[in-house]
Amino acid sequence: MLTLHQAGFTSIPALAPIDGEIHPGELLAIVGPNGAGKSTLLSMLSGYRRCEQGSVQLDGHLLHEWEITALANRRALVAQQEPVGFDWRVEELVCLGSKPEKALIAELLDDLDLVPLAKRSVLSLSGGERQRVMIARGACQLLSRRSNTAKDGGLLLLDEPTSALDIGQQQRLMRQLRAWATQHRMAIVCVLHDLNLAATYADGVWLLHQGQRIAYGKPHHVLTPARIADVYGAEFQATANHAASPPLLALAR
Strand order across the 15-22 sheet: 15-22, 2-9, 53-58, 61-62
Q: Give the pLDDT band (50/70/90) at residue 84.
A: confident
Over residues 127-169, the pLDDT tens digits come to 999 999 999 999 999 999 998 778 899 999 999 999 999 999 9
What does pTM read for this prediction? 0.93
The closest of 138, 74, 136 to 105, measured between CA atoms, is 136
Question: What is the C-alpha to C-alpha distance for residues 30 and 209, in angstroms, rounded to an integer?
Answer: 11
Predicted pLDDT of residue 249: 64
Predicted pLDDT of residue 88: 92
The answer to whether the beta carbons of residues 107 and 139 sit under 8 Å apart is no
What does DSSP assign to residue 64? G
List the Cα angle 143/50/187 in 5-degree steps: 30
**What DSSP string runs through 145-190?**
H--TT-SS--EEEEESTTTT--HHHHHHHHHHHHHHHHHS--EEEE
Question: What is the C-alpha to C-alpha distance for residues 8 and 157, in angstroms, rounded to an integer?
Answer: 18
The answer to whether the beta carbons of residues 29 and 198 sit under 8 Å apart is yes
Sorted by where each starts, the structural domains of the chain and their CATH numbers stand as: 2-82+154-251 (3.40.50.300)
Over residues 166-211, the pLDDT tens digits come to 999 999 999 999 999 999 999 999 999 999 999 999 999 999 999 9
Residue type, 252: A
Strand 248-251 vs strand 236-239: parallel, antiparallel, or unpaired? Answer: antiparallel
Q: Give the pLDDT band (50/70/90) at residue 242.
A: very low
The closest of 132, 127, 97, 96 to 115, measured between CA atoms, is 132
